[in-house]
Chains A and B, each alone.
Chain A
């Protein structure tokens, strides 16, 4: 409050203009996608482009809903993202608890291993994973993709939960033990409720990551019904009858992929920021 008072009008104008410029840079591409998705194929190609659709239509959406196998693809994406995020959060939560609270040989090596593998590019491992999946029949299955994303989410989930556990003072464990709690009670009645928000954060982060992933989803699925949304986005269907670039379809496809994620962002904005910070700033 104090600062706003002794800011000169000129400074204010400059600051607000810069803010407006920033927001235009960030938001305009998305706005343009939304606008284009509501145009007819002809208007989407019109010169000069119209800022507001003259005759708004949902044709592009209708076309994609049919041609994309949208219900199946949406269900695939949702199931894979949910179960991989849930699985990774649970496994990482267990590991984070063990590493943070128990003493055993190899403790810090395990932690180091989990974090170090973050640096491994997906491209380096996908070839052999593809070959193995083909041999053992996991290619083109939801289970196969779920497991890949589960493994991919483990390090981030562990950092998020670990940093939450780290902030719970060890005195609480001791106090619970003195009060006669078994380790089992301590874990489920004391630690878990306190660490719960970090599990939610980890789940949300991993859900978004899995929702957005393309490379593994593209390589490890084959039939259209087994694809996920990002892959469908890449394989834009052709609208044979209109010989024009299909801007409206590209835009509508984008909206169809993005829309289901927006509620998570709106409801979980604060938690997500916490998660991003916990994932990134563990070491500082």
Chain B
């Protein structure tokens, strides 16, 4: 019992000498290891297998042999990969920035003392519980070129139709729009909580000093929300960089290859062309970019937990 007790209260003096490693820590490892082992089996092992595959030329017709970095070299001559890389970057940055800005605006609005506030928060939350695949279907109904309601409305007020899903540029706009619609809910909720936890005295002091609502927002609230904003940008960036489902549901990467993100390209190479080696090389790039954002974020969490 003595060991368990000392393990339960880490602050108390440790009695290291009396028990072996196993006797002392078995309880802790019994609690922690099941989760770690499952997570390890489904992340680290497949990740290393993807790394290995990316160094082979394995495909459905070829059992595969080691080819070194040839897949990676091929990638940089593959125009589709370069385009996809560029679009992933543009999409990630623009979706993240628009979501964050719009989410902040929604949060400020929902934080005003307006009637029907809680109903409004409930409605704004709805897209968050919606499956990405469902979000793309919902928007398809609005965006269809011939009979979608957006184009119908445009025709009715005498404007030209917009080829929402059949023109490369507009398809990119549509894809971004759907992501913003889906994810702005989450951003708003985080910002709303941030706004509500701002120190009231500071805001009141600014008001007493004669600062108007805009000065108060830009000079007081916004600087205080800095860490919240960074967190949102990181988490959303991490989410957007690996977007697959919404885009696959809405355009399947088209028209042509215009909305094909890295995740979609990897999917096509791996699961429709069955080029396991080449697809895995695309995946390693996807991993690298997601990891750059993600490890910075988890490093902050890790430091906070120490």
Q: Which residues of A contact B (CB under 8 A)?
A: 1, 3-4, 15-16, 18-19, 22-23, 25-27, 29-30, 32-33, 36, 45, 47-49, 91-92, 94-95, 97-99, 101-105, 107-108, 110-132, 147-148, 150-152, 154-155, 158-159, 162, 170, 173-174, 177, 182-183, 186, 208, 211-215, 219, 230, 233-234, 245, 247, 250-251, 253-254, 257-258, 261, 264-266, 269, 272-273, 276-277, 280-284
Q: Which residues of B contact A174 (CB under 8 A)?
A: 9
Q: Which residue of A lies closest to B32 (CB)?
A: A98
* 14 intermolecular pairs with C-beta atoms under 8 Å apart: A3-B113, A108-B305, A110-B36, A111-B302, A112-B305, A119-B290, A121-B242, A127-B46, A233-B134, A245-B144, A254-B134, A265-B125, A281-B193, A283-B231
- Residues of B close to A47: CB separation below 8 A: 147, 152
List residues of chain B with CB within 8 A of the CB of A18: 109
A113-B39, A284-B227 given; A214·B123 CB < 8 A: no
Q: If A27-B123, A49-B152, A276-B189 touch, does A104 touch B7 (CB 8 Å cutoff)?
A: yes
- Least CB distance from B70 to A in Å reads 18
- Docked pose: A135 CA to B36 CA in angstroms: 23
**Once the chains bind, are A4 and B113 in contact (CB under 8 Å)?**
yes
Q: Does B74 contact A (CB under 8 A)?
A: no
Residues of B within 8 A of A110 (CB): 32, 36
Contact B290 A120 (CB under 8 A): yes
Q: Taking the complex as formed, is B35 at the interface, i.e. its CB lies under 8 A from any CB of chain A? A: yes
In the complex, which of the residues B10, B186, B284, B294 contacts A276, with contact meaning CB atoms closer than 8 Å? B186
A114: chain B residues within 8 A (beta carbon): 35-36, 39
Residues of B within 8 A of A215 (CB): 244-245
A165 to chain B, nearest CB (A): 12
Judge whether B11 and A170 touch: CB under 8 Å.
Answer: yes
Tell me if B134 and A284 are in contact (CB < 8 A): no
* Closest beta carbon of chain A to B191's beta carbon, Å: 11
How far apart are the CA atoms of A126 and B229 in the complex, in Å? 31
Return the CB mask of B139-158 against A: 1 if under 8 Å, else 0.
Answer: 11110101101001000100
Enumerate chain B residues within 8 angstroms of A30, measured Cβ to Cβ.
126, 138
- Interface size of B by CB at 8 A reads 109
A107, B29: Cα distance in complex, Å: 9
A32 touching B149, Cβ below 8 Å: yes
Inter-chain contacts of A186 with B (CB < 8 A): 8
Known: A127-B50, A152-B42, A177-B5. A283 touches B279 (CB 8 A): no
Q: Are B152 and A117 in contact (CB under 8 A)?
A: no
B298 x A94 contact (CB < 8 A) = no
A162 closest partner in B (C-beta)? B305
Q: How far is the CA of A4 from the CA of B117 in the complex (A)?
A: 13
| Nearest chain A CB to B240 CB, angstrom units | 11
Is A122's CB under 8 angstroms from B123's CB? no
Contacts of A182 in B (CB 8 A): 1, 4
A128 to B53 Cα, complex, angstroms? 9
| Cα A91 to Cα B260 with chains together (Å) | 37
What's the count of A-B pairs with C-beta under 8 Å? 308
Q: Let me know if B221 is at the binding interface, CB within 8 A.
A: no
Question: Could you tell me if A280 and B35 are in contact, using CB atoms closer than 8 angstroms?
Answer: no
Q: Which of B7, B27, B47, B134 contacts A124 (CB 8 A)?
A: B47
Of the listed residues B190, B232, B293, the one surrounded by the most CB atoms of chain A closer than 10 A to its CB is B190
Taking the complex as formed, is B45 at the interface, i.e. its CB lies under 8 A from any CB of chain A?
Answer: yes
Q: Knowing A112-B302, A214-B245 touch, does A19 contact B109 (C-beta < 8 A)?
A: yes
In the complex, what residue of chain A is closest to B289 when comparing beta carbons?
A121
The reply to whether B147 and A123 contact each other, CB–CB distance below 8 Å, is: no
Interface presence of B211 (CB below 8 A)? no
Query: CB of B306 within 8 A of chain A?
Result: yes
Q: Given the interface contacts A45-B147, A47-B152, A95-B36, does A183 sit within 8 Å of B5 by beta carbon?
A: yes
Check if A173 sits within 8 Å of B130, measured CB to CB: no
Please determine whether B42 and A125 come into contact, CB atoms closer than 8 angstroms.
Answer: yes
Query: Measured between alpha carbons, how far is A78 from B45 in the docked complex, in Å?
Result: 28
B173 at the interface (CB under 8 A from A): no
B280 on the A face (CB < 8 A):
yes
Contacts of A125 in B (CB 8 A): 42-43, 46-47, 50
Contact indicator B286/A261 (Cβ below 8 Å): no
